[in-house]
Amino acid sequence: MVADILPRFAPATKRPKLAARAALLDNVPMRKTGGGPPELGRWRKAIDKLDDRIVKLLGERAKCAIEIGKIKSKTGGPVLDPKHEAEVISRVKKLNKKFPPKSLEAIYGEIFTASRAIEKPASVARTVKRPVAAAPALKNPARAAYLGPAGTFSNEAAAEIFGPDSELRPCPDFPSVFREVEEGRADYGVLPVENSVGGSVDAAMDLLNQSRLRIVGEKTIQVRQVLASKAKSIGEIRTLISHQQPLSQCRRFIASELPGVGIIERQSTTSAAAEAAERPHSAAICSLVAARSYGLNVLKEGVEDFPSFTRFVVLSDGEAEPTGRDKTSIAVTIKNKPGELYRLLGVFYKRGINLTRIVSRPIPASNWGYLFFIDFDGHKKDAKPSAALKTVMKTGESLNILGSYPREG
Which residues are annotated as catalytic? 310, 312
Provide the 3-class DSSP secondary structure of residue 357: strand
Distance (Å) of CA 328 to CA 82, 218, 347, 349, 390: 31, 11, 15, 15, 14
Quick one: which of 152, 304, 154 has its CA closest to 227? 304
48 bridge partner residues: none
Distance (Å) of CA 262 to CA 74, 255, 257: 47, 12, 13
Q: How far apart are CA 135 and CA 391, in angstroms?
A: 31
The secondary structure of residue 131, as a DSSP letter, is: P
406 bridge partner residues: 326
Distance (Å) of CA 20 to CA 2, 7, 28, 53, 90: 10, 10, 13, 20, 32
Q: How far apart are CA 171 and CA 165, in angstroms?
A: 19
**Alpha helix ranges (H) inside 166-324:** 174-182, 202-210, 244-249, 251-257, 269-278, 288-293
Question: Are 134 and 218 in contact, with CB atoms under 8 Å apart?
Answer: yes
Long-range contact pairs involving 42-48 (C-beta distance under 8 Å, separation at least 24): 42/2
The secondary structure of residue 225, as a DSSP letter, is: -
Q: How far apart are CA 218 and CA 223, in angstroms?
A: 16
Q: How far apart are CA 203 and CA 235, in angstroms?
A: 33
Q: Name the amino acid, one letter, at 125.
A: A
Question: Are 257 and 233 in contact, with CB atoms under 8 Å apart?
Answer: no
**Alpha helix ranges (H) inside 96-152:** 101-122, 124-129
Question: Are 283 and 276 in contact, with CB atoms under 8 Å apart?
Answer: yes
Q: Looking at the chain, how many residues does it have?
A: 409
